[in-house]
Chain A
């Protein structure tokens, strides 16, 4: 699946601690995204990137920051985790043979904030 690797796959942390989730892709896709998935809300866009150092906010960006210093890596940071950020986080990319609009997802990272 577009060679997308997310790490860590599971993390438990305490309120107030910083957390960074990493997404690594091997397909040289220009666009990368971070979504969170919560019951009853589907998938909601947090931030996306349209190139190295080019990022923009999505629907639920408060409390999150991102960075993209290389084409292949897109980092999502929670500066001070809160219980409301307990969720499953999916990284995704678009591009390549699948088509310009087709999202291909990573396996997800389950984050629990106690």
Chain B
């Protein structure tokens, strides 16, 4: 099955700086790569996703890049704000609609 590794496990940045979280996946058949944000005590919520026929996708301060050859994808957050502090999860899926999640990154934006 799919295996997703996520780094770093914790990340602290100064407000206004950029944050980058990286994930690798093992199954070359995977074709959908979402990112979820989970605030403390809340449910995970989708913030951005990318499909394997696209190399990059942006939504305001958030962008995701995908390198299919290397089997890795990354989340980029620019101009970080305190409300960006949360746990971020990457995930990957191929068939059968079974998402496999990374272990999560605790992002802390320092004022």
Contact = CB atoms under 8 A, between A and B. Distances in A.
Nearest to B9: A40
Nearest to A91: B43
Given A41-B103, A42-B89, A94 B46 contact: no
Interface in A32-70: 35, 40-45, 48, 50, 56, 58-59
Interface in A69-114: 90, 94, 98, 100-108
Contact of B102 (A1, A42, A104, A108): A42
Contacts, number: 56
Contact of A43 (B1, B89, B97): B89
Given A101-B93, A102-B34, A102-B49, A44 B101 contact: yes
Kindly state the interface size class of chain A when it binds its partner: 20 to 34
Contact of B99 (A45, A50, A108): A45
Contact of A94 (B44, B97, B103, B104): B97
A9 to B, nearest CB: 11
Interface string B35-77: 0100000111110010000000000000000000000000000
Nearest to A106: B43
B63 to A, nearest CB: 18
11 contacts: A42-B89, A42-B102, A42-B104, A43-B91, A45-B98, A45-B100, A48-B97, A101-B97, A101-B99, A104-B46, A105-B43
Interface of A: 1, 31, 35, 40-45, 48, 50, 56, 58-59, 90, 94, 98, 100-108
